[in-house]
Amino acid sequence: MRKNMSELRDSEGTVAKRLLCGKIASLLMTAVALGNYIAGAHPIEIPKEKEWSALRVGNEIAGEDSWQGFNRAMFGIQDVIMDYVAAPINHVYCSILPKPLIHGIDNAVDNSEYPVRFFASLFRGEGGCAWDETKRFAVNTVLGVGGLFDSAKEHFGIFSTDASLSGTFAAWGIPKGQSLILPFVPRANVRDCAGYALDQGLDPKTYIDIFFPTGIWIGWTATLWPNYLAMGIDPWNAYVKQSSDPYTAYRQMIAAKSLLDERLAVYHYLNELAANKEGTRRPSVREPLSRPQGLKGRWRDIAGYGPRAPAIDTLRQRLFVPTRNNDSWWMRSSVFNGDFAKDVKVRSVAVDPEFPSASYGFVPAEGPHRRLVFVIPGIGGEFNANSTLAMAELLHDAGADVVTCDDPFHWRYATSVNKRILPGNFPEDARRLAGFMRAVIDDLAKDGLVDNPEVSVVGWSMGGLVTSYLAALESGDGLGFTVGTLLAVNPPVDSEHVLAAIDSCIRPSKSWTREQALDKFVDLAPRLLVWDELQFAATPDISEEDAGYTVAALLVATLPELAGYVENAEPSVSFRQYFDRYVQDQDRPDGSADVARHVGLKTLEKVLRDNPHVKMIHTRDDFLLNDDDRAYLDNTLGDRLTWFSAGAHCGMFHTLEFKQEVLERLGLARD
């Protein structure tokens, strides 16, 4: 839903803080979990002639880590405190103070730090920024009741710079030096840590601590520190703790935040957006595709979709979030929070006692248990990610018991269910997924939560491809449970076209210099982060070329982490490299490079045509399809296939029409 500037609730300072907590990881830097070391692996060098993948950008931003032993020890201290001290305190604190008050305190603290931002802006020669900070302080102190409300932004469109002396030192050309991680110091190198220490000298709260120690004991211990924690612990748990290497994820994310702060990137973009709310980078709206002559599948239009370039429309999948996703009164850590994520029971099951247990989410239906539906997200997707939970909420509200899973390409799934075998051999991936599903059903039945249920599966993108391969097992009675519907959404079809399409989107980055790559990050990250966080418009304010690079970077981002964590192998940049290096010779003595067996649906023609349980939803403008793919799917599946006139690759998930189609195809639609 669109929001005007005056309707936005979070301050720009809060947006900037959330960059630290993980939004960067979910966009351009999804692969930051792999750094110089992966679970004890040796340092990895990326050849300079390679494309600028998310991994390479993250490594360049973070810089060298010669003091890694010390830094990991310091991070470990913070990690232990977060788990065993901060989390219980936060749970109590957020169950006492409602979210509006916590946000208000955060705004007031931010307002009190005005001298830091004022002098940091002034010292770097940004008089306009210093004047904006002065206006914000005056307006928010008077009209915002001491800073509890960000009236300067809400009513006057004056945005915070989030400037600091760390950024000032960078603007002066002072080298950042070695990486340096200290507990609860949100900086990642020597220069920035020194700047942070000097920031405290400009912060009035420091002098309250000196002259009124009793007062600050009450204020800091009972309010400020728990309040800072309340604003950051959920993203910490969602992104840093979910990584295969939390230390590297944390180090690279705060280094990325420092780079954005150094350039005042979010501040400048918000001002740009305020001057032109519709943006200037999105290609113009194009007409939705018309139903082709002689189409066998079902055809659906989406009212008011306004399609743009396919890569830009693909990014709209980020709009697919649970409807109960942002409780207006209680933080996620509160016992009173009503977000759908709180309804998901996290469980685990050991598929093989020699390997780690696999985590999954379970949401029991209210009332009669009609069906158990497994949700398999796209490549690298997690069982508790927003899009996975959004699908689970849709199915749960329609009366189904729901199990949410990690995608087979997620490192956590690969080390447990896949038994440290790299995924990509889809017949084998489907066989192991079926074993995992049987283990989950047994685990739920043991606690009386299910009883010989009819099982359906919904998978999209790569998850849809694996779902389709389950059909071959089901046709041969190899699943071991009763099947209702196998619904594949936007699965890729032809291997060569998929590999070429993704590679062509990321290939232009090969010619970038280091400076150009960092400039591209500084330009794109605020545009994507602000759109993702605040939803100014239906599509992000970026060009078609930049959207293509972003989509490709996201699709391949999980591969280096996966290869490095499971195999301790050299990370690949593209799907083609991944399949050629790590998948092609699995169960194939001849070692031939026929990846079509692994990346595509054409080998399943008879199964897809003859198995009535297989159904599919696809878009005619998916850039991972070609004309032969469309004809093949339409002729093979007939009326068991639904075509959407717009949406590109999974970019229509948030629409009412798509949600209705999913429920209808699963037999869950209600009158």
**Closest by Cα among 310, 312, 297, 288 to 645:** 288
DSSP string, 350-376: -SSTTSPPEEEEEEPPSSS---EEEEE
Angle at 257 between CA 197 and CA 134, to 5 degrees: 65
Q: 235: pLDDT confidence band, cut at 50, 70 and 90?
A: confident
Measured CA to CA in angstroms, residue 45 lies from 248, 380, 570 at distances of 15, 23, 9
Angle at 659 between CA 657 and CA 665, to 5 degrees: 100
Q: 566: pLDDT confidence band, cut at 50, 70 and 90?
A: low
Write the single-letter amino acid at 479: L
What share of the chain in percent tops pLDDT 70? 84
pLDDT at 198 over 80: yes
| Tens-digit pLDDT profile for residues 85-104 | 999 999 999 999 999 999 99
pLDDT at 589 over 60: no
Neighbours of 535 (CB within 10 A): 15
pLDDT at 612 over 50: yes
- Cα–Cα dist 259/164, whole Å: 12
Tokens representing residue 367 in the block: 């009332």
pLDDT at 26 over 50: no
User: With contact defined as beta carbons under 8 Å apart, do 360 and 417 qualify?
Assistant: no
Query: What number of residues does the chain have?
Result: 671
State which of 209-223, 260-274, 469-483 shows the largest mean pLDDT.
260-274
Classify residue 189 by its DSSP letter: B
For 127, phi then psi, to 5°, come to -65, -35
Helices (H), 359-494: 386-397, 411-416, 426-446, 462-475
In a 13 Å sphere around the CA of 30, the CA atoms on its Cβ side amount to 23
Least confident of 69-73, 100-104, 278-282, 465-469: 278-282
**Closest by Cα among 478, 471, 494 to 604:** 471
* Average pLDDT of the segment spanning 384-399: 95
* Average pLDDT of the segment spanning 42-52: 51
* Average pLDDT of the segment spanning 366-386: 87
| Tens-digit pLDDT profile for residues 263-302 | 999 999 999 888 887 677 888 899 889 999 999 999 999 9
Q: Which residue has the higher pLDDT, 414 or 137?
A: 137
Domain spans of the chain, in order of start: 5-25+67-243, 298-325+340-493+600-666
| SS3 labels along 221-271 | HHHHHHHHHHHHHHHHHHHHCCCCCHHHHHHHHHHHHHHHHHCCHHHHHHH
- Cα–Cα dist 338/13, whole Å: 26
Average pLDDT across the chain, whole number = 84
pLDDT at 320 over 90: yes
pLDDT at 346 over 90: yes
298-325+340-493+600-666 topology per CATH: Rossmann fold (3.40.50)
Q: What is the pLDDT of residue 536?
A: 66
- Cα–Cα dist 430/427, whole Å: 5
Provide the Cα torsion 273, 276, 280, 284; round to 10°: 120
For 382, phi then psi, to 5°, come to -110, 155
* Average pLDDT of the segment spanning 307-311: 93
Measured CA to CA in angstroms, residue 620 lies from 87, 178, 596 at distances of 47, 50, 22
Q: What is the pLDDT of residue 533?
A: 76
Tokens representing residue 385 in the block: 């990610």
**Closest by Cα among 292, 293, 391, 279 to 650:** 391
Q: What is the pLDDT of residue 276?
A: 81
* Average pLDDT of the segment spanning 495-512: 85
Least confident of 144-153, 305-314, 553-562, 614-623: 553-562
- The 3-state DSSP class for residue 353 equals coil
- The 3-state DSSP class for residue 309 equals coil
Q: Which residue has the higher pLDDT, 586 or 14?
A: 586
Q: What is the pLDDT of residue 403?
A: 97
pLDDT at 2 over 60: no
Classify residue 507 by its DSSP letter: G
- Cα–Cα dist 425/403, whole Å: 24
Round to the nearest angstrom and report the end-to-end CA distance of the chain: 26
**Closest by Cα among 196, 181, 318, 319 to 253:** 181
Look-up: residue for tokens 């790559």? Answer: 517
- The 3-state DSSP class for residue 175 equals coil
Alpha carbon 397 to chain centroid distance?
24
- Cα–Cα dist 258/152, whole Å: 24
Do β-strands 614-619 and 483-489 pair in parallel, antiparallel, or remain unpaired?
Answer: parallel
* Average pLDDT of the segment spanning 104-125: 94
| Tens-digit pLDDT profile for residues 174-186 | 999 999 999 999 9
| Tens-digit pLDDT profile for residues 116-172 | 999 999 999 999 999 999 999 999 999 999 999 999 998 999 999 999 999 999 999
- Cα–Cα dist 506/546, whole Å: 9
Q: 1: pLDDT confidence band, cut at 50, 70 and 90?
A: very low
pLDDT at 347 over 80: yes
- Cα–Cα dist 21/242, whole Å: 12
Q: What is the pLDDT of residue 586?
A: 53
pLDDT at 48 over 70: no
pLDDT at 21 over 70: no
pLDDT at 354 over 50: yes
What share of the chain in percent tops pLDDT 90? 56
